[in-house]
Each structure stands twice: as structure tokens, then as C-alpha cells.
Amino acid sequence: MEPMEQPIQERIDRWLNGPYDDQTRQTIRSLQRDHPAELADAFYRDLEFGTGGLRGLMGVGTNRMNRYTVGAATQGFANYIKKSFPGTPRIAIAHDSRNNSRFFAETAASILAANGLEVFLFEDLRPTPELSFAIRRLGCHAGIVCTASHNPKEYNGYKAYWQDGGQLVPPHDNNVILEVVRIGSPDQVQWGNHLEGVKILEKSMDDQYIRMALGLSVNPEAVAAQHDLKIVYTPIHGTGITLVPRLLQAMGFDSVDIVEEQATPDGNFPTVIYPNPEEPEAMAMGLEKARITGADILAGTDPDADRVGIGVKDLQGNYILLNGNQTAVLAFGYQIEARRAKGMARKNDYVCKTIVTTDLIDQIAAANGVACYNTLTGFKYIAELIREKEGTEHFIIGGEESYGLLTGDQVRDKDAVSAVALICEMAAFEKQQGRSLFEKLLELYTRYGMYLEKLVSITRKGREGALQITEMMTAFRNNPPVSVQGSALVRLLDYQSGIDRNLRKGTRSPIRLPRSNVLQFILEDGSKISARPSGTEPKIKFYISVNTRLRGAEDHPGTLKLLEERISGIIRDLHLE
């Protein structure tokens, strides 16, 4: 067996000889003997408490999710909370259906209580958006949810929230990171040994959330008229089962079929490889049930119920899955148009999306005289914008291409529970007009332009992978393409340097957003390519957007093929296969 690199061996030795439990030491020795490469990966670095918290594989080691890494993160977070707020700060904690999520949530609750915080812990698994809602409703100063969202079953995570109900943003994120880094040993953690004094959140918080979500409806009369709308819903073994069926029933929908094979919360996600509604495989059972029942709409949520995917019938009656951009276009369009038709629109209304989400939303907002703001990728930046504009502008809806939507401002994170309700209301409204959601999407394309987007994710795992991702970004930054598919590069936006270069005019202007490792290439034909390393997965992501005019629904198949060929050409030119 080759000798371990010195820094890695030093970390391993600290765990073998330090204040760690016997089971952890036994597991390390077993890995030393049988799986040295796996052990090296588990210790080659510290699992970084990033700007959103922790996320990683579960297991022993400094680079894994376990009692000790969660303990250090929680103690560092507690130290910062106590520095930031006098008296007895309050914190709410939730968790999803993943393996060990309850254990990590209780570990955090015990540590925070031992640090003198007033702790509220949900009695059982709950959707992430309800945690955000509870922070605001209880007047908490912070929050935690133990989840790895849509990652594979081997992962878990820990997301940290501030008093507005949004995830940590500057300066709090970086300040918390500094506090976490200072925790160098389990001896520095006030572990606590029980949940005595922790307040348990029961059904009453669910009741308050349901009442809030019901108040978001724009056309309850459409729901009443189409109460028998055929809905298929799958929680994909996650937390959505706790609230989504109840909310749909409270709205008045009485024909909701749940995918029973995926209804029971289960951290092993036995029916899917990835519990992610972005993956067609995860929605396959829902699609099959929709075909059998002749459903009007299919909705699926991820394990912590912050992402939603939908399926609809196309013009031929075949069920298809919409991507996150298409769902967002329908949702934004509905909120803008329906609010205006009902006399609910305000002069200071605005919508918000991320820089990698379809620009068709900008077009729809501009044509309807509604302000549309763009933020960096990550819903925490949408939450930050809502907080900054409170009292001056009125937030309607926010969204991102990665299947995230938020209606109203009483939650400050993406909310798949209220999004399912919104999507079903939209389907009911369109059915009352004698058309489907897909037909509505084609109408929007015809009026504002047809946009097609594709996400290309390249996975590079481990230490070598992280280096390869860095090298790819450096190469694109230092040697951007002159043209792609025969269309010249006319603008280059580098969010890391904060410079927007207009290559046609030869000008430079500042990007008025925080610095971030993102590049965007704008081509002469209107195509846009965005590149960014993922903040939560070992991936580099390329977001490709192309657009053209659509004359009418009858031209959709041919126009779709044209745009798909353009995207394929961009992928080939940039060697992203």
C-alpha cells in the first residue's frame, strides 16, 4: 500500500488519536486496510461550509457529512448568531426524508440548546419552504434545514438561514464560515446530550402555512369550476407528501392521484436513481400514472420539496415533461396577466429571476410594463432582493431554471408546495378557457418569441475533478470563442471580474452584481451561453439558450427542430459532449 500524503495522514491521525468515538476509529482502520483511496478522499480536505452551508457524502472524515462536521458547523453558526443578536436568539430547524437527516437535525438542536439558544424543531420531516416560513412566523433569528435537496441517496447537507427566512448572503455567509473554520476539535463543540428545552413544532405550523398558501390564489373561481381537474402528484419519496395533497384538497381539487410507489418518505429513494424532478427517470412513474388516468397535469417534487417538475399533454395528446424554464415562463406569464385581469396589479409590481434563467421572462415582463430583475444563480439572491425592496416595490413571483418558483413574499426560498398549487390553478384556468397549458405556452412563444434552453452538466469528481473544472473555466475566460456556429461573439460578461465587454462597440461597463465565477457569451444571433461551476455538486454547468420567431402553433415542430439543431451545434463547437 502506498504511503498516504502527509497532510491527509495528519488529519487521519488526529481522528484516530483525538476525542472521536470508537465506531468512527474502527471505520477509519477498516478503510485504511481495505479502501485506502476512499479514505484519502474522505480526509484530503475539510468539508467546506460554503455560502449555503454543507453538502457532501455521508461517512467518516473531514470531507464527509457526519456528527463531527455537523457539530463543528453548528457550533460556528451558534457563535456567530450569539455575536449578532443580544439576549436569547431563536432558531428553527427542519429536515427532509434522507438517511440521517433526523439525526443531524437533532444533533444541531442539542448543540444550539446547549449554547443557550431558543430552539424550535419540527416534530418530523417537513418541506424546506415551511422552514423558511416558520423562521418568519416565529420571529426567529436563524434557521437550519438538514437536506441535500435532489442529490443521490449517499449525500446529505445542512442549509443555514438568516432572520428574513432566506439562506445566508454576504456578509453573514462569510462571517459564519470564519467562525466554523475556528472550530478545530470536537472539544470546542458544546454538544449537549438531549433535546430537553427544545420546542417541538407540530401541526399548527402546517395549518398556518396552508392558510398562507391558499391566500396566494389569483383565480379561486377557476379552481371551483374545474374542481375535478385530474391531477397526478408524486413526492418522489420526499417531504412533499406532508403538505401538497392537503393544500390541493384545501383549494377544492377533488381528483388528485398520488403515485403510491413513491408516496412513502424513504432516504434510499428505492424507485429512482436521482430523486430529482429534473430527471425524466424520476418522473417516469408519474407519467405512466398520468397516461393511465388521463390526467390534465402531473407534478413532482424533490426530497425537500423546493423543486417542482411538471408534465402536460402536447398537441397530439402525448404526455411530455416541461423543463424549468418552460414552467417558469407559464408561471410568470400567469401571475402577470391574471393579476392584471383581476385588477390586482400594482404600479410597483416586479418579478425576479436568475441570470441563467430564460430571457423570455424579461420579454414578457417588459411587454406588460412589469419590472424584471436578474440576480446571481441561487435563490438566496432572490430572497435578498425581496428584502432590499420591501416597502418600496411589490414582489409577485421569482424563479430559476432549476425548477424553482416562489409566489408571494411570506417564504424566502423556492417553494414547490405553493408552486404545485399555482401550476394546478393555471391548468384549471386554461382548461376553463378551453385550452391546455401546452397550448398556452405556444401562445406565449408566438407573442414574445420562442426560446429553447438546454443545460449541459459535466461531472468531474474528487480532487482531480475540481482541478479540471478550474482549468476549464480558466480556458474559457482567457480564450473565449470568437464565434459559435457561425455567429460572432458580441458580448462577454465575466462576473468574476465584474466586467461586461461589448465586443461590437469596443466598450466595457461594470456588472452591478456581486462577484461570482460565471461567464456569459452573447452571440450575434441572440444565443446565450453561460458557464459556471456548481456550488453544491462536482460539476461544471453550461446553460445554452437560443431563440427565434414563432409564427404560430402549426410551425412549432419545425421551429423546435431548428432550435434543437442550433443547440447541438453549440455543444459540438464548444466540445461539451
Q: Would residue 37 count as lying in a domain?
A: no
pLDDT per residue over 388-444, tens digit each? 999 999 999 999 999 999 999 999 999 999 999 999 999 999 999 999 999 999 999
The CATH number covering residue 567 comes to 3.30.310.50
pLDDT per residue over 334-388, tens digit each? 999 999 999 999 999 999 999 999 999 999 999 999 999 999 999 999 999 999 9
Q: Would residue 461 count as lying in a domain?
A: yes
The reply to whether 440 and 383 lie within a common domain is yes
Amino acid at 431: K
Q: What is the DSSP string of 30-98?
A: HHHHH-HHHHHHHHSS----BTTEEEEEBSSSTTSBSHHHHHHHHHHHHHHHHHHSSS--EEEEEE-SS
The reply to whether 185 and 237 lie within a common domain is no
* pLDDT, position 2: 55
Quote the number of domains for the chain: 3
The reply to whether 231 and 374 lie within a common domain is yes
> With contact defined as beta carbons under 8 Å apart, do 236 and 302 qualify?
yes
The reply to whether 473 and 436 lie within a common domain is no
The average pLDDT across 510-526 equals: 95
Distance, in Å, from the CA atom of 110 to the CA atom of 49, rounded to the nearest integer, reads: 20
How big is the CA angle at 77 (ends 138 and 126), to the nearest 5 degrees? Answer: 45
Q: Would residue 479 count as lying in a domain?
A: yes
Amino acid at 415: D
Distance, in Å, from the CA atom of 488 to the CA atom of 509, rounded to the nearest integer, reads: 20
The average pLDDT across 487-507 equals: 95
Phi-psi region of 472 (alpha: psi -120 to 50; beta: other; left: phi over 0): alpha
pTM: 0.95
The reply to whether 195 and 213 lie within a common domain is no
**If you average pLDDT over every residue of the chain, what do you get?**
95
Q: Would residue 27 count as lying in a domain?
A: no
Share of the chain above pLDDT 90, in %: 93
Domain final residue pick, 150, 165, 200: 200
* pLDDT, position 162: 98
The reply to whether 166 and 291 lie within a common domain is no
pLDDT per residue over 209-250, tens digit each? 999 999 999 999 999 999 999 999 999 999 999 999 999 999
The reply to whether 518 and 558 lie within a common domain is yes
The reply to whether 401 and 505 lie within a common domain is no
* pLDDT, position 196: 86
Distance, in Å, from the CA atom of 189 to the CA atom of 112, rounded to the nearest integer, reads: 10
β-pairing, 297-301 vs 231-234, is: parallel
The reply to whether 186 and 221 lie within a common domain is no
Q: Would residue 143 count as lying in a domain?
A: yes
Containing domain of residue 500, as a range?
451-573
The average pLDDT across 255-263 equals: 98
Amino acid at 197: G
What grid cell was written down for 562? 431548428
Q: Would residue 390 count as lying in a domain?
A: yes
Amino acid at 279: E
Q: Is 184 helix (H, G, I), strand (E, B) or coil?
A: coil
The CATH number covering residue 75 comes to 3.40.120.10
Q: Give the residues across from 407 on adjacent strands.
A: 397
* pLDDT, position 5: 77
pLDDT band at 100 (very low <50, low <70, confident <90, very high): very high
Inter-CA distances, 7 with 4, 43, 441, Å: 8, 9, 55
Domain final residue pick, 171, 200, 229: 200
pLDDT per residue over 163-197, tens digit each? 999 999 989 999 999 999 999 999 999 998 789 88
Backbone angles phi, psi at 469, to 5 degrees: -65, -45
Distance, in Å, from the CA atom of 100 to the CA atom of 425, rounded to the nearest integer, reads: 36
The reply to whether 470 and 532 lie within a common domain is yes
> With contact defined as beta carbons under 8 Å apart, do 295 and 327 qualify?
no
Q: Would residue 437 count as lying in a domain?
A: yes
Closest CA to 510 of 523, 522, 496: 496
Is 80 exceeded by the pLDDT of residue 535?
A: no
The reply to whether 115 and 251 lie within a common domain is no
Q: Would residue 28 count as lying in a domain?
A: no
What grid cell was written down for 11? 488529519
Backbone angles phi, psi at 144, to 5 degrees: -140, 140
Inter-axis angle of helices 67-84 and 101-114, to 10 degrees? 40
Distance, in Å, from the CA atom of 492 to the CA atom of 503, rounded to the nearest integer, reads: 7
Domain final residue pick, 155, 172, 200: 200
Q: Is 359 helix (H, G, I), strand (E, B) or coil?
A: coil
> With contact defined as beta carbons under 8 Å apart, do 7 and 46 qualify?
no
The reply to whether 355 and 437 lie within a common domain is yes
Q: Is 12 helix (H, G, I), strand (E, B) or coil?
A: helix
* pLDDT, position 464: 85
Q: Name the strand (E) or helix (H) holding 483.
A: strand 483-484
- Among all residues, which ones are annotated catalytic? 149
Q: What is the DSSP string of 222-251?
A: HHHHTTT--EEEE-TTSGGGGTHHHHHHHH
* pLDDT, position 428: 98
Distance, in Å, from the CA atom of 564 to the CA atom of 451, rounded to the nearest integer, reads: 10
